[in-house]
């Protein structure tokens, strides 16, 4: 079954606990960490993740859009994240980092910006629990879905299947009722949705609708 991960980037940051509870029933809560260096935006860090993990039973899927994830990612596991995603473009030693995240007890995940190909990372896939194919340039919610990423989603799914791996394939950026079916058809199984969930009148219902659509 498809997993839907609402992104709290589109929530009201002054009411994070309520906003997290508004999407109970979602598989994971997607938490976008931005440092104003790797991307031109600044969001939240370790103390907020710690508080959020106490405020909700939904596990946290932390997407680190930061420089030097080798140094910081393990601390997000300690802060309560159940899954930690670092960017391939930022990690100095992705294999070592993925192993460290797993050793600390979280799922290890790696993200690729739109212009970063998946093929150079083929041998690394067994070290990961999830691969995130970005479908917008990271940095902001509410951007238009990049259709040109569909072939990359398809190629990533082929690589995963070719090696018989269990890893999840996540898409993030512009995922909505208008685009989720195409992503699912291309082989994605974990869907981040920010504005499509928190912009809806009933966020919990938006999660259910997206899941039904993805499951076809």
Catalytic residues: 32, 172
- CB nearer Zn ion, residue 94 or residue 141: 141
Q: Which of 107, 40, 116, 55 is nearest to 76 (CA)?
A: 107
- If you count them, how many residues does the chain have? 216
C-alpha 70/C-alpha 16 separation (Å) is: 27
Of 84-92, 113-121, 154-162, 168-176: span binding ligand DX5 (CB under 6 A):
168-176
- 173 assigned ligand-binding residue: yes
- Which of ligand DX5, Zn ion, none binds 117 (CB below 5-8 Å, type-dependent)? none
- 174 assigned ligand-binding residue: yes
- Pick left, alpha or beta for residue 140 (phi over 0 → left; psi -120 to 50 → alpha; otherwise beta): beta
What is the DSSP code (8-state) at residue 14? G
| Rounded least distance, CB 94 to ligand DX5, Å | 19
- Residues whose CB falls within 8 Å of the CB of residue 109, separated by 6 or more in sequence, listed in order: 83, 84, 85, 86, 128, 129, 130, 131, 132, 168, 170
- CB nearer Zn ion, residue 35 or residue 172: 172
CB 77 within 8 A of CB 69: no
> Residue from 91, 175, 186, 188 that binds ligand DX5 (CB under 6 A)?
175
C-alpha 38/C-alpha 86 separation (Å) is: 11
What is the DSSP code (8-state) at residue 169? E
Q: What is the CA radius of gyration of the chain?
A: 16
The reply to whether 173 sits near ligand DX5 by the rule CB under 6 A is yes
The reply to whether 51 sits near ligand DX5 by the rule CB under 6 A is no
The reply to whether 113 sits near ligand DX5 by the rule CB under 6 A is no
- CB nearer Zn ion, residue 36 or residue 161: 36
> Residue from 9, 29, 66, 84 that binds ligand DX5 (CB under 6 A)?
9
Size of the site for ligand DX5 (CB under 6 A): 22
- 195 assigned ligand-binding residue: yes
The reply to whether 87 sits near ligand DX5 by the rule CB under 6 A is no
End-to-end distance of the chain based on CA atoms, in angstroms? 10
- The first and second tokens of residue 77, run together, are 């596991």
Give the interface with ligand DX5 as residue ranges (CB under 6 A).
Answer: 7, 9-10, 30, 32, 63, 136, 138-143, 172-175, 192-196
Annotated binding-site positions for substrate = 7, 63, 139-142, 172-174, 194-195
Annotated binding-site positions = 7, 30, 32, 63, 139-142, 172-174, 194-195
Annotated binding-site positions for a divalent metal cation = 30, 32, 63, 172
């Amino acid at each position: 079954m498809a997993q839907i991960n609402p992104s709290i980037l589109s929530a009201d940051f002054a009411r994070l606990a309520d906003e997290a509870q508004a999407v109970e029933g979602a598989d994971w809560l997607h938490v976008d960490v931005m440092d104003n260096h790797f991307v031109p935006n600044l969001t939240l860090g370790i103390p907020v993740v710690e508080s959020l993990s106490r405020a909700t039973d939904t596990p946290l899927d932390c997407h680190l859009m930061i420089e030097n994830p080798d140094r910081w990612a393990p601390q997000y596991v300690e802060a309560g994240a159940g899954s930690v995603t670092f960017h391939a473009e930022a990690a100095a030693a992705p294999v070592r980092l993925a192993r460290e995240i797993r050793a600390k007890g979280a799922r290890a995940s790696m993200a690729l910006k739109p212009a970063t190909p998946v093929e150079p990372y083929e041998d690394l896939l067994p070290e990961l629990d999830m691969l995130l194919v970005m479908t917008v340039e990271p940095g902001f919610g509410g951007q238009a879905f990049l259709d040109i990423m569909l072939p990359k989603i398809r190629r990533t799914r082929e690589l995963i299947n070719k090696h018989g791996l269990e890893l999840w394939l996540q898409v993030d950026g512009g995922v909505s009722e208008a685009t989720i079916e195409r992503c699912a058809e291309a082989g994605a199984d974990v869907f981040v949705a920010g504005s499509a969930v928190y912009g809806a009148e009933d966020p919990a219902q938006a999660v259910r609708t997206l899941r039904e659509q993805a499951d076809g």
